[in-house]
Structures are given as structure tokens and as C-alpha cells.
Amino acid sequence: MTSEFEPIEETLEDARGRAFTALEETTHTFASSSPTSATSRLGDEIRALETELPQVADGSQAKTRALAHLDNARDAIAEGNIGSALFFIFRARQAIVVDGYLFDSERGLTEESTDIPPPQTEGQ
């Protein structure tokens, strides 16, 4: 049986795939156009990840994902592929951030804003 939400889920999955592709392309472009800056940024991101990772619960899905992405980043570094390494480090940090947000939102600790600005009319 087809779910009424299936078209929405397919659209979300497509959008998610396009977003990851764009991020990966952007990191590769950055790494190839500015190798020194990319290497420096990679070092900064790895240090940030090393600070964040111990704060994530052992055995959690977020830690498992982050560690898998970190392993992929290490493989990319070994191959000299800084663009891919950056991409995987960004994905690792994303897993941690999403986990933290979900943890906080379950406890009502996130700021949810329902303030939607009114639409602009012509001439405003």
C-alpha cells in the first residue's frame, strides 16, 4: 500500500541528495582552488570534531555515524583528497549537531520561532 506521504518523502530524499552533492562539489572546488586554505580548514574542522566527539553518547547513532565519516575522512587524507576529507568531516559534525538538536528539542530546550514575517508587497 502506498503512503500518502510517499511523494513528500521522495521529494525530501531528492533534495537531501542534491544538497549533499552540492556540498561535496563545493568542498572539492575549494580544495582544488585553495589547497593551503583547504588544508588549514581541514585541520580546524578535525580539531573541532575532536572536541565535540567525546560529548556524544557512546553507542549512539550520531557517534556511530560521526566515527564512520571520520574514518572516511582519514582514508581520503591518506589518498591526498582534501576535498573529500572536508566533506566527510562536515558530515561527521553534522551528525553531532543534529543529535544535539534532537536531544535538546526532546527536552524543550530549543528556541522555536513561529514568527513568520509578513509577505512584502510591491513598493515596500
Q: What is the pLDDT of residues 22-58, one digit of tens each?
A: 888 888 898 899 999 999 999 999 999 999 999 888 8
Cell numbers given for 120: 512584502
Position with higher pLDDT, 47 vs 114: 47
The pLDDT of residue 122: 59
pLDDT tens across 85-108, in order? 999 999 999 888 888 777 766 777
42 vs 26, 63, 69, 97, CA distance in Å? 14, 20, 14, 18
Residue type, 120: Q
Give every CB contact of residue 43 below 8 A, 6+ residues apart in sequence.
Answer: none
Pick the more confident residue, 111 or 92: 92
pLDDT digits over 54-89, tens only? 988 888 888 999 999 999 999 999 999 999 999 999
Distances (CA, A) of 94 to 55, 87, 90, 91: 14, 10, 6, 5
The closest of 18, 38, 17 to 84, measured between CA atoms, is 38
Q: What pLDDT does residue 44 have?
A: 93
Residue 112 pLDDT > 70: no
Note the pLDDT of residue 100.
76
Instruction: Identify the burial level of 22 via C-beta atoms within 10 angstroms of its C-beta, where 0-12 means exposed, 13-18 middle and 19 or more buried.
Output: exposed
d(CA 57, CA 46): 19
Q: How far apart are CA 63 and CA 48, in angstroms?
A: 15
